[in-house]
Structure 1
Amino acid sequence: MTPTISDTEERTGEQETDGPVNPGQDSASLEHVRETAADKPTVCVVGLGYVGLPLAVGFAESDYRVIGFDVDDSTVETLRNGTDTTGDLSDEAVQNDELTYTSDSTAVSQAEYVIIAVPTPVRDDDRPDLSFVESAATTVGSKIDTGTTVILESTVYPGTTREVLVPAIERASGMTAGEDFSVGYSPERATPGDAEHGLEDVVKVVSGQDEEVLEDVATLYESIVDAGVHRAPSIEVAEASKVVENSQRDLNIAFVNELSIAFEHMDVDTQAVLDAASTKWNFHGYRPGLVGGHCIPVDPYFFTYRSAQEGFDPELMETSRKVNESVPDHVADLTIKALNDCQKALSTSRVLVLGLAYKPGVGDIRSSKVADVIESLEEYDIDIEGYDPFADNDTAREAFGIDVQESLSFEDFDAILLATPHAEFERIDLAAVADEVADDPALVDVMGALERDDATAAGFEYRKL
């Protein structure tokens, strides 16, 4: 899948262009916007990844004139050709007459509202990387007209909009926030692969630099979000709400992950314990597993970074991160123990990893913790192959450094590691698979998607978190 400004971690503002890459097509598209902007508000979405593209489509479907701006020429060209680059929408959805795709930054000047949806990853030392926000703000600032409202949707720590975004826009524009342009913040709540919780289905948190801007931003989003909006009392509250909602999940998952490691030592079935505990009305149900992706393992670092700046280290959140980061090594240990129990020599063992994406139902392998499991197993010279029905095979081969099957085959593998439980894996006939794999096979079912009794009846040495 082609990376875009809102889902890559290597792109910088230096790759932006002040002129159209394809002059004929871009000029014609922008002229369409100019001709129609007079009678309908125009929205420019900066960054056409998993957050920005659904947002652009959502506004276009609500009869806004929309400019989708991205610095990645190939992404823009793919979208112009009518192909959904995220896999979460459809080709038909991105083919909307109200939506113009461009890599020409001058198009920003055509919009009354500019919404920035660019990536905010963490660096190798776990500090927030706001370079994409600063680059986008500089580009926007150099193009916007007086009266424009700029809304940031990227995940950031409290204070970023006022301390990073606004100064960058002001430097590039020569204008002053609150006088010449307005600023709001509305955290994205995108959930890739979840059709039931799309843009229109989830309450949108909105904020503005003052009451007037807040109401304007709220009205804008109310027109496309059926679930309604929540008006945060300040931009900082809205920024904090985003990192807190995912940090809460990180903490809860860390708890059950730590339980699973403890119960492994006690020889107690973790899922059976959770099933029993969940019969109480106020028990919150979480399952142990690998914590990957672009939100849960990232957002807590934004909070801890900002909190430490103010003199307080949130130890519980920091510990939760350490626990969840340790799980890939634990999964690798489970696999090694299972192979040993099957009397397999590690250096000659073959393991098939089912599911390479960071979560079920999507093909996104970026930030997938399956990579860490594979890296740990490879330290023992184990031969590893992978298969994922959603991920691009060539991309997966390059990212993981392993052979990736085009079609699923279990032949002669010593162990199966079900890392990401896509729905089709839950329908696997283990009795039939047992006829293909090597003698005395192992099955490591990370999230317990398959039945232990079925696995043992088929002759597998079964493990799970």
Structure 2
Amino acid sequence: MSESVSHRTGEQSARPEGEQICVVGLGYVGMPLALAFDDEGFEVTGFDIDPELVETLSDGNDPTGEAGHDRVAESDVSFTAQPDNIVRADYVILTVPTPVDNTQNPNLDFVKGAARTVGEHISEDTTVILESTVYPGVTESELAPIIEEESGLTAGEEFNLGYSPERLSPGDGGKTLEEVVKIVSGDTDETLEDVATLYETVVDAGVYRAPSIQTAEAAKVIENVQRDINIALMNELAIICDHMDVDTHEVLDAAGTKWNFHDYRPGLVGGHCIPVDPLYLAHGSERAGYTPSLILQGREVNEYMPKHAAELTMRGLNEAGKVLKDSSVLVLGLSYKPNVGDIRTSEVDEVITELETYGIDVEGYDPHAQDDAMAEHFGIPIQDTPDFEGFDAVFLATPHDEFDRFDLSKVAGALNDDPVLIDVMADVDEADATEAGFIYDHL
């Protein structure tokens, strides 16, 4: 590992005396961060504009399922919807969403709103650290001026700025805050060292000191741009193999025997990072005068995959002799990735829309997400327990661990004659599926 990465040491545990942190935004990123600093003895305020979320956390419940109810209940974090404690904070850490709008452009409304709130309450000598994903330049050109205007303080003199991009991956073991190297940056050398020391108290894997805030901002987006482009290549390969009647995964297994082949697989690309970060980098690049072609083409390929997956389903139904407008499909797994319950950025929504365009009835089941939320978000009936009776096809979109326990023969027997199984991520062994009686396909 690079010598620029410094690791947590025992001496640093004494640091928290009297120091106060306010974490702004209490979702998948902010809530674990607040708990981590609380564990190390800091006085921590967790602020969010959503009073229902604050009440849930104050009652000792973890709505994300990542930290666990007990850890939230036993913490000393002061959860609040009132920003008053910002005035006492030595560090204000912003972990607010940075989505894209309907035109696929960055939506910085949450960052700007948080900046206004912080500016209205900030005290002199506070360090404001942004963790949200942004394109290079946002911390200093968008966040700082708003805080300056609202507070009357000058960035770099009366308050300081840092940027430390979040790297959490919900549902993935070994990818917690403590276990992933943290990139840190600051507007001065002194701020950089201060921010590094702060995060070293909670990150066992160590911190990497970026030479500038813009470097850290760019590093965050390129991490997911790289993944997006590589998955896009695999998705395009899947389409090519489909046209050539070649099994994509057999091709990848064979190619993977070479020592320097990278193991990416085709799939639906949802989530808050991979589909969004390329658009942030492209936007920042266009502002600087260059339109990136490869990044945007990768997005086009990945955005096409829900339509392709729906087409595989309809092809399977046709092969089974079904009339599309009289067919029904049960979608298993509606969240954006295995073993998490987040449905907000799931690409399964686009698959459902495409199937319904052809008159196909669709129902869904997901053991990790809330039924009411799924019914509202996807606009389809949601099962509270999986019932395969009377369906023509199963669309395995997100392979949660629970689905591994299904008996394929029993599932096939409950479906209508000539049942279809579309296994998006090739989680089921094809031989087992066909032996059970399925017409089987995958990306």
Same fold (TM over 0.5): yes
Contact 1:444 1:464 in 2 (8 A): yes
Measure the CA separation in 1 of the matches of 2:17 and 2:189: 26
Paired residue for 2:7?
A: none
Per-residue CA deviations over 1:333-359 (Å, capped at 9, x if unaligned) read 000000000000111111000000000
Q: 1:38 to 1:117 in 2, by over 3 A?
A: closer
Contact 1:304 1:314 in 2 (8 A): yes
Name which of 353, 361, 371 aligns with 1:393.
Answer: 371
Name which of 311, 315, 321 aligns with 1:343.
Answer: 321
CA RMSD of aligned residues (A): 1.1
Per-residue CA deviations over 1:129-162 (Å, capped at 9, x if unaligned) read 1111111011001101111000000000000000
Paired residue for 2:170?
A: 192
* Corresponding residue SS for 1:406: coil
- How far off its partner does 1:169 sit? 0.3
Q: What letter is aligned with 1:262? A: I
1:53-132 matched pairs, under 5 angstroms: 53-132=31-110
Measure the CA separation in 1 of the matches of 2:17 and 2:308: 59
Measure the CA separation in 1 of the matches of 2:405 and 2:440: 17
Name which of 259, 264, 269 aligns with 1:281.
Answer: 259
Q: What letter is aligned with 2:32? A: P
TM-score normalised per structure 2: 0.96
Contact 2:21 2:43 in 1 (8 A): yes
Measure the CA separation in 1 of the matches of 2:347 and 2:389: 25
TM-score normalised per structure 1: 0.91
Paired residue for 1:29?
A: none
- Does residue 360 of structure 2 align to residue 382 of structure 1? yes
Measure the CA separation in 2 of the matches of 1:336 and 1:74: 42
Q: What letter is aligned with 2:127? A: T
- Does residue 299 of structure 2 align to residue 299 of structure 1? no
Paired residue for 2:332?
A: 354
* Corresponding residue SS for 1:108: helix
Measure the CA separation in 1 of the matches of 2:301 and 2:371: 30
Name which of 208, 220, 223 aligns with 2:198.
Answer: 220
- How far off its partner does 1:96 sit? 3.7
Measure the CA separation in 2 of the matches of 1:413 and 1:96: 46
* Corresponding residue SS for 1:140: helix
Name which of 153, 156, 172 aligns with 2:150.
Answer: 172
* Corresponding residue SS for 1:92: helix
Contact 1:63 1:98 in 2 (8 A): no
Measure the CA separation in 2 of the matches of 1:237 and 1:203: 16
1:404-423 matched pairs, under 5 angstroms: 404-423=382-401
Paired residue for 2:406?
A: 428
- How far off its partner does 1:312 sit? 1.1
Measure the CA separation in 1 of the matches of 2:362 and 2:153: 56
Contact 1:60 1:96 in 2 (8 A): no
Q: How many residues matched?
A: 429
* Corresponding residue SS for 1:323: helix
- Does residue 232 of structure 2 align to residue 254 of structure 1? yes
Measure the CA separation in 2 of the matches of 1:138 and 1:309: 24
Contact 1:43 1:115 in 2 (8 A): yes
* Corresponding residue SS for 1:353: strand
Paired residue for 1:242?
A: 220
- Does residue 128 of structure 2 align to residue 154 of structure 1? no
Measure the CA separation in 2 of the matches of 1:464 and 1:85: 33
- Does residue 253 of structure 2 align to residue 268 of structure 1? no
Paired residue for 2:20?
A: 42
What stretches of structure 1 move > 3 A for 4+ residues in a row? none
- How far off its partner does 1:374 sit? 0.2
- How far off its partner does 1:86 sit? 1.1
Contact 1:67 1:99 in 2 (8 A): yes
- Does residue 114 of structure 2 align to residue 136 of structure 1? yes
Contact 2:365 2:384 in 1 (8 A): yes
Q: What letter is aligned with 2:207? A: V
Measure the CA separation in 2 of the matches of 1:110 and 1:194: 35
- How far off its partner does 1:97 sit? 4.4
Paired residue for 1:26?
A: none
Contact 2:17 2:42 in 1 (8 A): no
Contact 1:43 1:112 in 2 (8 A): yes
Unaligned runs of 5+ in 1: 1-36
Measure the CA separation in 2 of the matches of 1:45 and 1:198: 17
- How far off its partner does 1:203 sit? 0.2
Measure the CA separation in 1 of the matches of 2:212 and 2:423: 45
- How far off its partner does 1:179 sit? 1.2
- How far off its partner does 1:98 sit? 2.8
Contact 2:28 2:64 in 1 (8 A): yes
* Corresponding residue SS for 1:94: helix
Paired residue for 2:268?
A: 290
- How far off its partner does 1:107 sit? 1.2
Identical-residue share of aligned pairs (%): 56
Q: 1:95 to 1:377 in 2, by over 3 A?
A: same
- How far off its partner does 1:38 sit? 10
Paired residue for 1:321?
A: 299
Contact 2:128 2:162 in 1 (8 A): yes
Measure the CA separation in 2 of the matches of 1:110 and 1:72: 21
Q: What letter is aligned with 1:457? A: E
* Corresponding residue SS for 1:262: helix
Measure the CA separation in 2 of the matches of 1:385 and 1:79: 32
Contact 1:64 1:98 in 2 (8 A): no
- How far off its partner does 1:195 sit? 3.0
Q: What letter is aligned with 1:277? A: A
